[in-house]
Amino acid sequence: MWELIQSNKRKSLILFFGMGALLILIGYVFGSFYNPESGGAVGIFFAIILWMILSTISYFAGSKILLAVSGAKEVTKDVHPQLYNVVEEMKIASGVPYFPKIYIIDDPSPNAFATGVKPENSAIAVTSGLLSTLNRYELQGVVAHEISHIVNRDILLMTFAGMMLGAITLMSEVFFRGLYFGGGSRYRSKSSSKNSGQGQIIIMILALVLAILGPILAQLFYFAISRKREYLADASAARLTRYPEGLANALEKIANSSYKLRSANKVTAPMYIVNPLKREGMKLADLTSTHPPISERIKILRALQQGVSYKDYQKVFEMIHGKKEKIIPDSALTESIPVAPIMGLANQNKSFSHVDAKREANDAVMKLNDYKFINCKCGVRIKIPPDYNQPIVVCPRCGTRHQLG
Amino acid sequence: MNCPVCKEPMIILELNKVEIDFCPNCSGIWLDEGELELLYSIDKPDNELQKLFQQTTSSKEKSYKCPICRKRMIKTQFSNTDLILDRCPQNHGIWFDKGELEKVLTIKSNSSSEKILALLKDMFSYNKSQEAE
Ligand SMILES: [Zn+2]
Ligand SMILES: [Zn+2]
Ligand SMILES: [Zn+2]
């Protein structure tokens, strides 16, 4: 997979300079819009500064910021043992030498993402909704998909893209707000001279077009290099777990969930395993979608009946997609060992209890929020919020007085 | 979550996989809608839960605000008994006052209210024995 990692590093550089150029262009046009004489230069100056600051922040703290914006909290093994075990299994299976940090987002909508600049400081974040709706095999599929993003060095690309997308979206919002308060037109009428009039109209139109299209353009730009990555991560997950049905079921459950992810926004949306901002029947959303259609991803995974090697995935992809397109890099296709999918796990899924999964996920969120847990000898579990200020709590079932603190 | 009556933080009690929010200060009980659904989905998937509550206008009790959405709760008759409970208009859950809990513990349950009553009777068996003395 070396060539893939190299190509991803190259793409990160293209993205880095491409987004920078777009940012500078937007800076120039917006600046000129507000002040035709010197605004362009000022705009460029601020855009370059912003770009440099953002790149530095992205590299050193991008994943921390994205995790914080998503409301993710880091967890230890005792907060959610099953999640920890699944991550451990997939880490070993994938051969990554570093243990990714595990985060939980308190949100009933099931979803997950991976972030980080290097595998050493990578992180996997899942929502509590994901933990309460997926069984062990489905969770394995999702975690394997996210681990694959880490192994393939997709996370640097995603983190950079997320930060740049955020900057462009922010700039166009600031521009529109400025327009709304009438700043632009007032300055322009004062400084207008006859020969700059026509150029000013062009700048004005250009600024409006950029303000509207900039964020979409940035997203399209990202889309161009991100679509294959989702397929590839699916292929790697099928191979790692040897149980493609697990990820297929998980994707189906995520897509069918009626909850909306509260913390999702335009910036973080492309990072998730399933785009949380999808709206049905919207053509523009389809066009700028950072993910391949989920139904197609599920169809490919379910068609992996003969084997789960990269070669099998490529074959099935072409069959379902109807045209030749390289999803898997050449070096991975030469893999000769046949990897058969595991059968018969479906029976074990029946032992999955929604009540248990939901209880476990809710407990994890409470532990993250510093609740104290007391197991009374009578069988009652008492969960005490951090703002509870009484020194004792009496079990209402057996009368045991539990000392706190 | 804070108690809708005395605004103190409530503790959470879990028994047989169902959670109850309990105010140790005023002995009020909050049953979350999700928990009620859990209680009724374990073996019976039908819509038994909805049949448990009938809206009533006959009560003159003070009504409280839902601890989740802060909307004023509506008075609801519980399963053909003389129990009047507070229920969130947006279905976040139901609230039992201390007095209501005491009534619950003496009620003979019909089939659909049985689960809630059995849970509450089991959970608060110590409180009940205390009051008998
Ligand atoms: Zn006890
Ligand atoms: Zn109270
Ligand atoms: Zn409510």
How far is C-alpha A341 from the chain's CA centre? 27
Nearest ligand to residue B27 Cα: 2
DSSP B80: T
Lowest-confidence pick of A106-115, A215-224, A226-235, B47-56: B47-56
Lowest-confidence pick of A39-53, A132-146, A160-174, B27-41: A160-174
| A335 classed as catalytic | no
What is the three-class DSSP state of A34?
A: helix
Give the per-residue pLDDT at B11: 95
Phi-psi region of A12 (alpha: psi -120 to 50; beta: other; left: phi over 0): alpha
CA B102 – CA B127 distance, rounded (Å): 9
Give the per-residue pLDDT at A335: 66
State residue A45 phi and psi, 5-degree precision: -55, -50
A169 vs A182 pLDDT, higher one: A169
What is the three-class DSSP state of A162?
A: helix
CA B4 – CA B8 distance, rounded (Å): 8
Residue whose entry in the numeric block shows the structure tokens 């051969």: A95
- From the list A87, A123, A88, A129, the residue with the least C-alpha distance to A105 is A129
Q: How far apart are the first and last CA of chain A?
A: 52
Which of A89, A138, A146, A280 is the catalytic position?
Answer: A146
Measured in angstroms, the CA of B19 and the nearest CA of chain A are apart by: 9
pLDDT in tens, B29-87: 999 888 887 777 655 545 666 667 776 666 666 778 999 999 999 888 877 777 888 88
For residue A144, give both structure tokens.
């394997």
pLDDT in tens, A44-93: 888 888 878 877 887 888 788 888 888 899 999 999 999 999 999 999 98
Are the beta carbons of A259 and A322 closer than 8 angstroms?
A: no
Give the per-residue pLDDT at B29: 92
Nearest ligand to residue A402 Cα: 1
Helix, strand, coil % (nearest 5) of chain A?
60, 10, 30
- Determine how many CB atoms are found less than 10 A away from the CB of residue A176: 12
Instruction: Tell how strand A381-384 and strand B11-15 pair up.
Output: antiparallel
CA A63 – CA A74 distance, rounded (Å): 13
- B11, B17, B34 member nearest A384 (Cβ): B11
Q: Which residues surround ligand 3, an ion (CB under 5 A)?
A: B 66, 68-69, 88, 90, 92
Q: What is the DSSP string of A20-31?
A: HHHHHHHHHHHH
Task: Identify which of A152-161, A248-257, A348-357, B119-128 has the greatest average pLDDT.
Answer: A248-257
Give the per-residue pLDDT at B60: 66
A20 vs A129 pLDDT, higher one: A129
Cβ separation B130–A399 shorter than 8 A? yes
Cβ separation A393–B17 shorter than 8 A? no
CA A227 – CA A223 distance, rounded (Å): 6
For the cut 80, the answer to whether the pLDDT of residue B97 exceeds it is yes
CA A284 – CA A265 distance, rounded (Å): 17
For residue B1, give both structure tokens.
């979550």
Is residue B6 less than 8 Å (CB to CB) from chain A? no
Lowest-confidence pick of A140-144, A195-199, A263-267, A364-368: A195-199
Is residue B38 less than 8 Å (CB to CB) from chain A? yes
Chain B residues lying within 8 Å of A393, measured CB to CB: 11, 24
Task: Identify which of A7-11, A322-326, A387-391 has the greatest average pLDDT.
Answer: A387-391
How far is C-alpha A27 from the chain's CA centre? 27
Is residue B95 less than 8 Å (CB to CB) from chain A? no
B81 vs A392 pLDDT, higher one: A392
Q: Tell me how far the alpha carbon of residue B91 lies from the centroid of ligand 3, in angstroms.
A: 6
Average pLDDT score, chain A:
81
Nearest ligand to residue B69 Cα: 3
Q: What is the DSSP string of A81-102?
A: HHHHHHHHHHHHHHT-SSPPEE
DSSP A106: -
For the cut 70, the answer to whether the pLDDT of residue A182 exceeds it is no
For the cut 60, the answer to whether the pLDDT of residue A286 exceeds it is no
